[in-house]
Amino acid sequence: MNTSSIIVTGAAGFIASGMVQYFNEQGYYNLILVDNFDVETKRENWETKKYNQLVNRNHFFEWLDKTQPNIAAIIHLGAKTDTTEFNYAIHEELNVRYSQKIWEYCAYTKTPLIYASSAATYGAGEHGYNDDHETPFQLTPLNPYGKSKNEFDKWALGEDKCPPNWTGLKFFNVYGPNEYHKGRMASVILHSVKQIKESGIVKLFRSHNPDFKDGEQLRDFVYAKDLVKVIFWMFEQMSNQTWKKENNGLYNLGTGYARSFYDLATATFHGLDLTPNIEFVDMPEDIRDKYQYFTEANMNKLKTAGYREPFYTLEEGVDDYVRNYLNEHKYY
């Protein structure tokens, strides 16, 4: 096992705290966690994890210059992910410029880099959901968050100086443990469990698109436990120097199967051993014209790169999440 440190950014957040837990489960404790650790609502995401050091994200680059650590890889999952924040300057600073500095550091020090992109880059899906390297230059994301992620992808693809191994992962609709702090931006599953416990009903958005019935809006829902397994697999390939340089680039990270919000809500009720009771409400006007009605990842590229592990089905993932985490407010 490589004794160099692994840096995980966004480590107090949703997906990255799960990544840290998965590293711990595989016997990796030589972790440097980067984030703003002063946010009390995120404390339980990280405080029980095993790691070497916490570094405040605002001092991260100073810390790198000062300590010059021996790094096995940087897993860059930190980002401003609020799709309802419409000030692009905020997304640009955290999602573009900060990521560029990490990229440049990895290129200079020859450090492998795995970073989080997003399916929000695909906009309304008019160009499909293919993770080739031409599509990003055609895309029109529906919000500043998606735009910032796409701008960084395009910038990375145009760079001559690159990390020796790198991947940008386009996360689709991720759900799973450790998202209690996310408020409005938490998954429909978390909100559904809360609604069920309060009223016995789940309220889903009506469709404002004539091509889709109420509740039949389709998304590629992917369980966070699958994401961290893929990232760990890529990390191991890069560490063992079995990752081929031609495999560097962007990758979709979904299941490859679009499912409806109705299916999602039904699975949530079943995870609580209850009969489904679903009502429909109007979608908020501030997101109505920026809403994705269909997403489905083309997953061929990841399979071609050699990843063979099965993904949780929607029913399996939702059941695990609801039964083992949400129902008793537990963390991963």
The pair phi, psi for residue 151, each rounded to 5°, is -60, -40
145 is catalytic: yes
Contact assessment for residue 325 and residue 186, using Cβ atoms and an 8 Å cutoff: no
Q: b vs e for 123-153, b when ≥16 Cβ sit within 10 Å of the residue's Cβ?
A: bbeeeebebeeebbeebebbbbbbbbbbbbb
Q: Which one of the listed residues 145, 175, 312, 321 is annotated catalytic?
A: 145
Q: Which one of the listed residues 80, 154, 182, 290 is annotated catalytic?
A: 182
DSSP state of 294: B
> In angstroms, rounded to a whole number, what is the distance separating the alpha carbons of residues 179 and 110?
33
Structure tokens at 55: 């570094």
Question: Which H or E run includes 16?
Answer: helix 14-25
> In angstroms, rounded to a whole number, what is the distance separating the alpha carbons of residues 225 and 282?
32
> In angstroms, rounded to a whole number, what is the distance separating the alpha carbons of residues 29 and 21?
10
115 is catalytic: no
Name the pairing type of β-strands 31-35 and 5-9.
parallel
What is the distance of C-alpha 16 from the center of its chain? 8
> In angstroms, rounded to a whole number, what is the distance separating the alpha carbons of residues 10 and 55?
11
Phi-psi region of 278 (alpha: psi -120 to 50; beta: other; left: phi over 0): beta
| 233 class by beta-carbon count within 10 Å (0-12 exposed, 13-18 middle, 19+ buried) | middle
Structure tokens at 312: 């949780």
Q: Which residues belong to the active site?
A: 145, 182
